[in-house]
Amino acid sequence: MVPQTVPMKTPTKYLSLLGVIAGAVGLFLWFRPAAPPVAAPPRPASVPAQTPVPARPAAVVQAPPAAIPIAPSSQQSFRNMNILKRNAILDDIQKRDLSSIFQAWIDAERFDHDPLKRNGLSIVLSEALHERTPSPELLAQMRAFIYDPANSMLERGMLMSALGYAERKETLDMLLDMVPHPPDKKLFASLLSSIGDAASNRNESLSPIYERVWREAGPGDKDLLSAIAASMARLGTASSMEMLLTAAFASDGADDLRKQTARYGLEAANILNEKAVPPLAARLSNDAPLNEASQLAGGILFKMQGAVANRALLAWMQNANERAAPIALNLATNGQNPEIWQAALDAAVPFRSERIRDAIRAGLAEHHKNYP
């Protein structure tokens, strides 16, 4: 499990999550209206001001931390500062309460007119939400902001993304609650993407939420089920994998929608969790190594690589019949743990079919030729 802490503060920490910014910018470019955008509206009524609105918010004009003294040029815009000065400002804002951080994020666009600062504060907001429990009142304000059409598509999409990357039960539940009645048809894809973002760092504690939605979603929720299946597979917990594999190989006509989306999720996701190995290994057939279930499970284990996955594949080869020889050849040729397959050449290692051992030997020879 990925530790639930925010990375140590370094001068480049705010560059590590630029996927959030890139995704938000992509959303803006996709939904950008043909006509020139109108002027940005004033502070939305859905987010009450924390203090009377000054000409510029206090967060911008206050002095940076003493550790980084700034000369009279401190009035320069955020975008023209060097990275140390920018991070000093962002670090200072991150120390505030969640409501103040949210307000600073809004003000970066409305009062500072600085997209770079707003993007940096999107990361600050996401990290702060990850570290601290948001109050129901703050979540209600954020929900109102997302549903308010007076706010731009870009801002609403960025806020949903920040909520997704927060990787908290509270924020994920909030996003899922929006699915039946999305804030805007044009934001539905962004909403589903944000739901998937919550699984980006493989926080296993979120698995029960995804599993509940997987069980409860109806036949008209194809897009939602696809996003949930991909997230469950990415997390790779034993229970999530069992649910997906069971659906993927259900009888035709039993629940074809879940069958299709489960297979999509399993094939598309980059599964790294070793807890996924036992459910996958249980689908490997010794007598029918080329059947559909064996091909899917074996392919996923091969993509996972790693010692645990390779040992499961080797155990399969030891017990499979001679029809698995082409599979053994491919595994030994292209695997990333050749030492595991090399050990299998020892005569003391039992094989149901010696043709499999011969195929492993040939595969290793090819592997060493390709990777001397």
Report DSSP letters for 335-367, one per residue: -S-HHHHHHTTSTTS--S-HHHHHHHHHHHHHH
| Residue 308 and residue 230 share a domain | no
pLDDT at 240: 97
| Residue 206 and residue 187 share a domain | no
Residues near 27 by Cβ (< 8 Å), separated by ≥ 6?
Answer: 153, 154, 157, 158, 190
SS3 319: helix
Residue 193 inside a domain? The answer is yes
Point out the least confidently predicted range of 44-53, 83-92, 312-321: 44-53
Question: Is residue 194 within 8 Å of residue 164, measured between CB atoms?
Answer: yes
Show the domain range for 351: 277-372
How far, in Å, CA of 130 to CA of 222, rounded? 29
Q: Tell me the pLDDT tens digit for each residue of 112-137.
A: 889 999 999 999 999 999 999 999 99
Residue of 300, 264, 260, 262 whose CA lies nearest to 283: 300
Residue 56 inside a domain? The answer is no
> Encoding tokens for residue 241?
């994998």
Alpha-carbon radius of gyration of the chain: 26
| Residue 114 and residue 92 share a domain | yes
**Average pLDDT rounded to a whole number, residues 239-262:** 93
How far, in Å, CA of 59 to CA of 43, rounded? 16
Residue 70 inside a domain? The answer is no
> Which residue type does 327 have?
I
Residue 266 inside a domain? The answer is yes
| Residue 91 and residue 185 share a domain | yes
**Average pLDDT rounded to a whole number, residues 196-208:** 89
pLDDT at 294: 96
> With 60 as the cut, is the pLDDT of residue 92 above it?
yes
Burial degree of 371 (CB within 10 A; 0-12, 13-18, 19+): exposed
Q: Of 182, 198, 214, at which residue does a domain stop?
A: 198
| Residue 118 and residue 206 share a domain | no
How far, in Å, CA of 329 to CA of 241, rounded? 27
> With 60 as the cut, is the pLDDT of residue 44 above it?
no
Residue 234 inside a domain? The answer is yes
Question: Is residue 316 within 8 Å of residue 284, measured between CB atoms?
Answer: yes
Query: Total domain count for the chain?
Result: 3
| Residue 162 and residue 23 share a domain | yes
C-alpha distances in angstroms, 108 versus 58, 104, 151? Answer: 11, 6, 14
| Residue 346 and residue 226 share a domain | no
Q: Tally Cβ neighbours within 10 Å of residue 276.
A: 28
Q: Of 224, 244, 272, at which residue does a domain stop?
A: 272
| Residue 147 and residue 16 share a domain | yes
pLDDT at 350: 97
Its pTM stands at: 0.73
Distance of CA 89 to the CA centre of its chain: 27
C-alpha distances in angstroms, 254 versus 97, 220, 233? Answer: 50, 16, 21
Q: Of 179, 198, 217, at which residue does a domain stop?
A: 198
Residues near 289 by Cβ (< 8 Å), separated by ≥ 6?
Answer: 298, 316, 320, 321, 323, 324, 327
Question: Is residue 157 within 8 Å of residue 28, measured between CB atoms?
Answer: yes
| Residue 161 and residue 83 share a domain | yes
Question: Is residue 98 within 8 Å of residue 128, measured between CB atoms?
Answer: yes
| Residue 167 and residue 18 share a domain | yes
Residues near 260 by Cβ (< 8 Å), separated by ≥ 6?
Answer: none
Banded model confidence at residue 60, pLDDT cuts 50, 70, 90: very low
Residue 293 inside a domain? The answer is yes
Residues near 90 by Cβ (< 8 Å), separated by ≥ 6?
Answer: 14, 120, 121, 123, 124
**Average pLDDT rounded to a whole number, residues 334-359:** 95
Q: To 5 degrees, how large is the angle CA 224–CA 230–CA 262?
A: 80
Residue 40 inside a domain? The answer is no
Q: Tally Cβ neighbours within 10 Å of residue 24.
A: 24
Q: To 5 degrees, how large is the angle CA 243–CA 244–CA 250?
A: 90
| Residue 230 and residue 308 share a domain | no
| Residue 164 and residue 176 share a domain | yes
Residue 42 inside a domain? The answer is no
pLDDT: which is higher, 30 or 304: 304
